[in-house]
Structure 1
């Protein structure tokens, strides 16, 4: 696996983040200096002849980050905006609540959602309360062998893995002037070879340790209980694209409880991940 990474053409310079918490302005400045949208093009694949055979498949394979490295009472709420025929909406009730309560959140946004919701995307991206990260282009699992997850066909080779990441990276960078540091695939499934490819492109693969809404299918009680099960450094997976679900109600119940217990909410970029 090390050979795969060593031979892959690295387009993005890895950011050196200090232990101190950066401001969002610092975060965006780092991104803007690291990459320009015209530099985001698929590389050649000198590793393709190696025929690397992945040994892992799932949500928590080698290289995927699932928690923040901290013992403090800090939690990251992450919301996916998935796009597509059943995922193109915006739960404005959650957005309004987070803004009214000044709760920061990290948004993993799919390219399809951005292209169908340009004005809403810019509204979110221009709000310092929200950290914008990469949720892929076609919302598919990342695989070099065409593995499936939840009946969704994954990428079939390294070039498709690269394009699934970089197409949306271009879209976000061109619209915001800054480029994401983190990537989460559609379905959150990967093989470890695909994870290495994403890392070589300069992004960290980030999943979660708390399933907050099970694809926006949980009841309000289930969402509340899931979020309240966090521990210091937890990353919670939620969805922001299903306004008819009970996610909003569950979020609004859980946050005051966590705050009463001493928890605060943070962006992912503020901490190293593990």
Structure 2
């Protein structure tokens, strides 16, 4: 590296004679030091990334575009004649609880299936007490321990690091169920992972643990990121047998206002609301049968 830098200085001397003047000595030293450092950085960057001896070698993350992921659909049996049948499902990922949605469900006596994480349970004891006080309305199911996508290869899903291995997927599912039981919730039978995307092998693993996987057919709020009016349009598109997914943990988002208004609008149309535990259902991708 030093020889490369020195050679560069010789070339520069031929172009800039001032480097050989007494005043150019400092300039020459600075230039030589800079060139050595530059060459060292280039050589280091060319080396393959290594961990120090004895450190575990982490597998590289696969680009999300190269990982086969499924986003399963789910429908409940259609009512056919008469009032359409719709299942409302809500994810309680983490953070707080949206009182606009919860109070609407309770006041209007609207049944729903709520998917809770261990993280949400730790910080929402009051909301949990409301849910447990109305077992005729609310079915509580498993949304995981730490809200980690149930994908068993290292990758990101919507910017969220996935579980990355079968062991981590199993812990996400089991940890969520353990937290629910410790909080006084009955053993869950459904699982919905963070982002609602799965690797096919993770689906088989979760099914092997005794769970059905809750997909959906209408995305009500796109992760609670839609405006109230856009949420209302999504809900209005629901048909007989649809399963709607929304979020109940974002009280500061405009989407919650739209969810509450949409529930009232569907009720006014005579919709029959059901929980997943009440009506036979079918999901694709081997998620329920």
- TM-score category of the 2 structures, normalised to the smaller one: 0.7 to 0.9
User: Given the two structures, how large is their TM-score scaled by the length of structure 2?
Assistant: 0.70
Higher-RCO chain (CA-CA 8 Å, sequence separation at least 6):
1
Query: Any idea what SS the aligned residue of 2:140 has?
Result: strand
CA contact (8 A) 1:212 1:226 kept: yes
**Counterpart-to-counterpart distance in 1, 2:67 and 2:259:** 37
Alignment match, 2:119: 112
CA distance, structure 2, for counterparts of residue 156 and residue 252 of structure 1 = 36
Q: Deviations over 1:245-266 (max 9, x none)?
A: 1233212332333234331111
1:14 corresponds in structure 2 to none
Contact 2:100–2:260 at 8 Å: present in 1 too? no
Tell me the equivalent position of 1:270.
278
- Pick closer, same or farther for the CA change 1:147–1:55 going to 2, 3 Å: closer
Is residue 2:74 matched to residue 1:74?
Answer: no
Instruction: Mark the runs of 5 or more structure 1 residues left unpaired by the alignment.
Output: 1-53
Seen in structure 2, the aligned counterparts of structure 1 residues 57 and 177 have a Cα distance that, compared at 3 Å, is closer
SS at match of 1:269: coil
The structure-2 alpha-carbon separation of the partners of 1:226 and 1:120, relative to structure 1 and needing over 3 Å to count, comes to same
SS in 2 for 1:270: coil
Q: Secondary structure at the match of 1:176?
A: coil
Deviation at 1:94, TM superposition (A): 1.3
Deviation, 1:55, is 7.7
Could you list the per-position Cα deviations for residues 112-132 of structure 1 after superposition, in whole angstroms to 9, with x for gaps in the alignment?
111122343233233221110
Aligned equivalents of 1:127 and 1:181: distance in 2?
A: 19
Which whole-Å deviations, capped at 9, do the CAs of 1:57-102 have from their partners, x for residues lacking one?
1312xxxx5111324411111111111xxxx111112111111111
Give the greater-gyration-radius structure (CA).
2
Is 1:98 the equivalent of 2:105?
Answer: yes
Which of 69, 91, 95 is the equivalent residue of 1:57? 69
- Paired residue for 2:205, among 175, 178, 197? 197
| Stretches of structure 2 lacking an aligned partner (at least 5 in a row) | 1-65, 283-289
How many residues matched? 213
The DSSP-based 3-state class of the residue aligned with 2:277 is helix
**Separation (CA, whole Å) in 2 of partners of 1:214 and 1:144:** 24
- 182, 201, 208: which one pairs with 2:216? 208
| 2:236 corresponds to which of 201, 219, 228 | 228
Bigger proportion of residues as helix: 2
Residue number in structure 1 paired with 2:164: 156
**TM-score (structure 1 length as normaliser):** 0.73
Q: What are the Cα deviations for residues 216-263 of structure 1, in whole angstroms up to 9, with x where unaligned? A: 111111111101111111111111111111233212332333234331
Q: RMSD between aligned alpha carbons?
A: 1.8
User: Which residue in the other structure is 2:263 paired with?
Assistant: 255
